[in-house]
Amino acid sequence: MEQWHSIIKDIYDARVIVLSFVGIGTIVPALLFLAAPYVDTPEEISFLFQEFRMPNSLSLRLLIGFMALISTLSQWLLTKACSASNISIIGIIFYTNIPFAIGFGWILGDEFPNSLTFMGIGFIIFGGILVAKGKK
């Protein structure tokens, strides 16, 4: 794994990786928005083909711009961290986003996860710790 890590780090600059994430994250949703009026989807995947509505308030547009700025910055920092060190060690730190995602989701109105969900989260974290310990 370390050999692949050094090869990828030597070939790709962090800016190229971030640009590819941003590009894919912009192009794919744009294509889905464009296809939405012409596609009759089953209920299970209808969330993928939502009708696009331009935000009408300045505060909402500023919030979307701020979210874009923060997510681009976080993707760039994440990519720099992955290229600077062993990914299996950094991977454990990535798991800290789980409690934040649960907390923010709950604040924004999502259901609080059940015990089965927490058990799955625990297995994922435990697996990440085992991988990190095995790499030392």
Q: What would the pLDDT profile of 41-98 be if each residue is shown by its tens digit?
A: 888 888 877 777 888 899 999 998 998 899 888 888 877 777 777 666 676 677 777 8
Q: Does residue 49 sit in the same domain as residue 95?
A: no
The predicted pLDDT at position 8 comes to 59
User: Which single residue is written with the structure tokens 């874009």?
Assistant: 68
Q: Please count the structural domains in the chain.
A: 2
Q: Does residue 70 sit in the same domain as residue 106?
A: no
Q: Does residue 107 sit in the same domain as residue 80?
A: no
Confidence of residue 12 (pLDDT cuts 50, 70, 90): confident
Q: Select from 84, 101, 122 the last residue of a domain.
A: 84
Q: Which domain holds residue 43?
A: 1-84
Q: Select from 68, 84, 100 the last residue of a domain.
A: 84
Q: Does residue 17 sit in the same domain as residue 74?
A: yes
The predicted pLDDT at position 50 comes to 78
Picking from 68, 70, 73, 66, the residue whose alpha carbon sits closest to that of residue 18 is: 73
For 86-102, letters b (16+ CB in 10 Å) and e give ebbeebeeeeeeeeeeb
Among the residues of the chain, which ranges form H helices?
A: 2-11, 14-35, 58-84, 87-94, 97-107, 115-135
